[in-house]
Structure formats: structure tokens, C-alpha cells
């Protein structure tokens, strides 16, 4: 295969230890296919210095660097972490589209590691998440038409940093990573060391549990798909009522997420199930707020309409 025809591998490169290690390894294995994407969030004064560091490092590696400048400030009522994450993904998707990653059949590589996976699980537990949230981060996924992968999910942060320091490779220490105003930082700085002290092999055992949960979640998705072939998309209310309650809830949750792009809270889903059970007459009204829209009755089916 011609070099130019090979899939491009774009490393999401922040300049930190994890993405530095990923960029080095990717360039070593795929020297003619590797490029780097850096997202300038505009959230701190040092952001311009980060860009300069990344450019210098990529020049030394002979890896093309593409930088996206975004405004990642959060809106009122929005989590700063969620706003930054959303802006980052949007920028990476645009960079992938404009730099031939999709056309080449390539991927964007993310540098999340085993400690990030545990943090994600603990955050999900703290929020009372279902199996989807407890499945933490998948090794591969698609978003906005772009294929993403996380090649170092089985590596721990301490091992990554130790290898870089042993090799004398410089990386950025983002000062915001020490700010305990962010929940994920509290987990990283306070909870993970306690877990390490109590259960030295926690990362591996948690990873096994996450894998089991992810498989169970896949089975629920398969079951929802089977049930939705019976009740229709959008779901027919009468056919939903014929399902056992747990399968009914599973089918509705899957329909809302896969077709409408929203996820109901536990309270919203429970109220919706009550309304479906009570829907015995032609004139029964259903209207439940979910995310930025409403689930309502449209004759004999459920519908979801985004609020304008």
C-alpha cells in the first residue's frame, strides 16, 4: 500500500505526560501516518506556552502539528469540565475532518489511561449511574463521524511518567490538574492514593469489573433492540404496556438515547413508566421533560420533541 494511502493516526496531544508518551509510541510504530492535534482552550494564561512546547516537541519528532483555538468557557449552570470536554471533542472532530483522517480511514487517538478509567468509574458511582455510566470509557468509539481510540487504557499514570523521566523527556505539568475545585482532581489526588494503599492491584481489578459491566450493558442494548422491533420506533404505547416493567424501561431508555440523543434521569423514567401504565384511554395526556425537550403522546406512540 502506498504511504499516502495509509490511515492517518492523529494523537490528541496536550503536551502532558500521557499524550506525550502516546505520541512518541505512535510515531515510533507509524512514522509516516502520525499527526498531532492540539486544542488551545483559552482558559489559562499558560495556554500559549503549551502551544509553543507542543510545536517544538512535534518539530523534533518530525510530526505535523495542527492547532485548534476554541472558547471553552462554560455557560451558566454548566459544568466547567463538561464545557471544556465538549469544546475539545468538537475541535478534534473538525481537525479530523479538515486533515484527512476520515478520508484515510484513520482514527483520533486519546491518551486516557488506567487511572482515568478508575476516576470515570468512581465519578459514575458518585452520581448513581446505570450500567452505561459504570462501563466507563470504551477503548474505541465513534463521535461526529470520527473514529476515536484509547490505546493506553491498560497503563497506569505512574508507569507512564516514570518511563518519560527515565528517558529524559520533558512534558507539561498543567497547574489546573492540582485544583481540587474539580471533582476529578479530588479523586486523583485524594482517593486513588488511598485505594493504592488499601488495594495495591485496584487498577487491574477495577478494569475487570468495568469489562464485566460493559458486557452486561451490551446485552441490555441487544435486548432493547429486540424489544424495539416489537414495539416500533417510535414506540407504540399499547405494545410497550405488554412488556415487563424492566424491559419496558430498558427499551424506552435505549430509544431515547439512540434515536433522540437524550438520557432520562431515574426520576423522569419512573414517572414516564407510570404515565404509560395509566394511559388506558384515547384522551390520556403524557408530557415528561427529559433533557432539553419533552416525551409526549402522539396518538398511539411516544414522541420526543426538543424544546425550542
pLDDT digits (tens, 9 = 90+) for 86-106: 889 999 999 999 999 999 999
**Which segments within 63-122 are labelled E, that is strand?**
65-69, 107-109
* pLDDT at site 74: 61
Reply yes or no on whether the pLDDT at 60 is more than 50: yes
Reply yes or no on whether the pLDDT at 167 is more than 80: yes
Q: Name residue 52's beta-bridge partners.
A: none
Sequence-ordered list of residues with C-beta below 8 angstroms from that of 85, at least 6 positions apart, any chain: none
> 173: how many CB neighbours lie within 10 A of its CB?
10
Q: Measured on CA atoms in the order 136, 137, 141, 142, is the torsion positive or negative?
A: positive
Stretch(es) of the chain classified as CATH 3.40.50.620: 3-198
How confident is the model over 137-148, as a mean pLDDT? 94
Q: Which helix (H) or strand (E) holds 140?
A: strand 140-143
In this structure, of 14-18, 20-24, 38-42, 296-300, the range with the lowest mean pLDDT score is 38-42
Q: How many CA atoms lie within 13 A of 118 on its CB side?
A: 25
Inter-residue contact 190 to 149 (CB < 8 Å):
no
Mean pLDDT over each residue of the chain, to the nearest integer: 91
Q: How many CA atoms lie within 13 A of 216 on its CB side?
A: 13
Sequence-ordered list of residues with C-beta below 8 angstroms from that of 238, at least 6 positions apart, any chain: 300
Give the position of cell 395526556.
285
Inter-residue contact 184 to 81 (CB < 8 Å):
yes
Of 35, 24, 43, give the one whose Cα is nearest residue 98.
35
> Is residue 15 classed as helix, strand or coil in its secondary structure?
coil
* pLDDT at site 2: 47
As a residue count, the chain comes to: 308
Distance of CA 241 to the CA centre of its chain: 33
* pLDDT at site 78: 56
Q: Measured on CA atoms in the order 106, 110, 113, 116, is the torsion positive or negative?
A: negative
For strand 146-149 and strand 107-109, is the pairing parallel, antiparallel, or unpaired?
parallel
CA–CA distance, 110 with 25 (Å, rounded to integer): 13
Q: What is the 3-state secondary structure (H, E, C) of 156-222?
A: CHHHHHHHHHHCCCCCCCCHHHHCCCCHHHHHHHHHHHHHHHHCCCHHHHHHHHHHHHHHHHHHHHH
Fold of 3-198: Rossmann fold (3.40.50)
Reply yes or no on whether the pLDDT at 26 is more than 80: yes
CA–CA distance, 227 with 194 (Å, rounded to integer): 44
Confidence of residue 3 (pLDDT cuts 50, 70, 90): very low
Give the orientation angle of helix 245-260 with respect to helix 266-278, to 10 degrees: 120
- Asked, as a colleague might, if the bond just before 10 is cis with ω within 30 of 0, I would say no
Q: Name residue 141's beta-bridge partners.
A: 148
Amino acid at each position: 500500500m502506498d504511504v499516502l494511502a495509509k490511515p492517518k493516526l492523529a494523537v490528541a496531544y496536550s503536551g502532558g505526560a500521557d499524550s506525550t508518551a502516546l505520541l512518541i509510541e505512535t510515531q515510533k510504530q507509524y512514522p509516516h501516518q502520525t499527526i498531532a492535534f492540539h486544542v488551545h482552550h483559552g482558559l489559562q494564561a499558560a495556554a500559549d506556552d503549551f502551544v509553543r512546547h507542543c510545536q517544538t516537541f512535534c518539530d523534533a519528532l518530525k510530526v505535523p502539528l495542527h492547532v485548534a483555538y476554541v472558547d471553552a468557557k462554560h455557560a451558566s449552570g454548566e459544568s466547567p469540565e463538561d464545557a471544556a470536554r465538549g469544546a475539545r471533542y468538537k475541535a478534534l472532530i473538525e481537525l479530523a475532518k479538515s486533515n484527512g483522517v476520515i478520508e484515510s480511514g484513520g482514527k483520533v487517538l486519546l491518551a486516557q489511561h488506567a487511572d482515568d478509567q478508575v476516576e470515570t468509574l468512581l465519578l459514575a458511582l458518585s452520581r448513581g449511574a446505570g450500567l452505561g455510566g459504570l462501563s466507563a470509557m470504551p477503548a474505541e468509539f465513534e463521535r461526529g463521524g470520527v473514529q476515536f481510540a484509547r490505546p493506553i487504557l491498560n497503563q497506569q499514570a505512574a508507569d507512564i511518567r516514570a518511563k518519560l523521566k527515565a528517558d529524559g523527556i520533558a512534558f507539561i505539568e498543567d497547574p489546573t490538574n492540582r485544583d481540587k475545585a474539580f471533582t476529578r482532581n479530588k479523586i486523583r489526588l485524594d482517593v486513588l492514593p488511598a485505594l493504592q494503599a488499601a488495594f495495591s492491584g485496584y487498577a487491574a481489578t477495577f478494569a475487570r469489573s468495568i469489562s464485566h459491566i460493559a458486557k452486561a450493558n451490551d446485552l441490555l442494548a441487544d435486548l432493547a433492540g429486540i424489544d424495539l422491533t416489537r414495539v416500533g420506533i417510535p414506540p407504540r404505547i399499547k405494545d410497550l404496556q405488554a412488556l415487563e416493567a424492566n424491559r419496558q424501561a430498558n427499551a424506552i431508555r435505549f430509544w431515547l438515547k439512540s434515536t433522540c440523543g437524550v438520557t432520562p434521569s431515574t426520576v423522569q423514567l419512573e414517572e414516564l413508566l407510570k404515565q404509560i401504565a395509566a394511559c388506558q384511554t384515547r384522551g390520556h395526556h403524557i408530557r415528561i421533560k427529559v433533557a432539553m425537550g419533552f416525551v409526549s403522546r402522539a396518538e398511539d406512540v411516544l414522541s420526543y420533541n426538543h424544546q425550542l
